[in-house]
Structure 1
Amino acid sequence: MRIVIAGGHGKIALHLERLLAARGDSPVGLIRNPDHADELRAIGAEPVVIDLESATVTEVTEAVMGADAVVFAAGAGPGSGVARKDSVDRAAAKLFADAATLAGVRRFLMVSAIAVDDGPSPDAEPVWAAYVNAKKAADDDLRERYLELDWTILRPGGLTDDPGTGLVWLAPKVEREQVSREDVAAVLVALLDAPATIGHVLELVGGNTPIRDAVTAVGR
Structure 2
Amino acid sequence: MPKKIVIVGGHGNVSLRLARILGPSHSVTSIIRTPAHEDDIKAASATPLLLSLEESPVTDFTKAFHGADVVYFSAGAGGKGGEERTKSVDYEGALKVFDAIEAVEGVRPRLILVSAIDVRDPEKIPAHYTEEDKALATRVRGHIAAYMKWKYEADKNLVKRDAFKWTMLRPGGLNNEPGTGKASIGRTHLSPTISRDDVATALAMLLEREDAAGLAIDIVGGDTPIAEGLDAMIKKGETDFLG
Alignment deviations for residues 13-33 of structure 1 (CA, whole Å, 9 cap, x no partner): 0000110013x1111110010
Residues in 2 aligned to 1:207 and 1:131: alpha-carbon distance in whole angstroms: 25
The amino acid across from 1:9 in the alignment is H
1:117 counterpart (78, 102, 120): 120
CA RMSD in angstroms, aligned pairs only? 1.6
Please list the CA deviations of residues 76-112 of structure 1 after superposition, one character each: whole Å capped at 9, or x if unmatched: 0143311111001111011011111112423111100
CA distance in 2 between counterparts of 1:202 and 1:124 reads: 20
Q: CA separation in 2, counterparts of 1:124 and 1:197?
A: 28
Cα distance in 1 between the residues matched to 2:109 and 2:163: 7
Mapped to 2, the partners of 1:193 and 1:45 lie a distance apart of 19
The answer to whether structure 1 residue 209 and structure 2 residue 212 are counterparts is no
Amino acid at match of 1:142: L
Identity across the alignment (%): 40
Flag the 1:59–1:176 CA change in 2: closer, same or farther, 3 A: same
The residue that corresponds to 1:169 in the other structure is 184
Does the residue aligned with 1:168 lie in a helix, a strand or coil?
strand
CA contact (8 A) 1:106 1:148 kept: no
Aligned counterpart, 2:91: 90
The answer as to whether partners of 2:11 and 2:37 remain within 8 angstroms in 1 is yes
Cα distance in 1, alignment partners of residues 173 and 166 from structure 2: 22
Q: Which residue pairs with 1:192 in the alignment?
A: 207
User: CA-to-partner distance for each residue in 1:191-218, whole Å, 9 max, x for gaps?
Assistant: 1111221111111001111111111111
Which segments of 5 or more consecutive residues in structure 2 lack a partner in the other structure?
123-136, 236-243
2:111 partner SS? strand
Matched, 1:131 2:147: yes
Inter-CA distance 123–141: structure 2 relative to 1 (3 Å threshold): closer
Q: Kindly state the Cα deviation for residue 122 of structure 1 after the two structures are TM-superposed.
A: 9.2
Q: Which residue of 1 aligns with 2:41?
A: 40
Contact 1:8–1:31 (8 Å) recurs in 2: yes
> What is the CA-CA distance between 1:181 and the residue it aligns to?
1.0
Q: Distance in 2 between matches of 1:36 and 1:26?
A: 19
Give the secondary-structure state (helix, strand or coil) at the position aligned to 1:115: coil
Larger Rg computed on CA atoms: 2
Distance 1:162 1:129, change over 3 A: same
Encode CA deviations 1:15-53: one digit per residue, 9 max, x unaligned. 00110013x111111001011111111221010000111
Structure 1, unaligned stretches of length 5 or more?
none
Partner of 1:75: 76
CA deviation profile, 1:54-96 (whole Å, cap 9, x unmatched): 1111111111111101010000014331111100111101101
Aligned partner letter, 2:18:
L
1:138 maps to a residue whose letter is: A
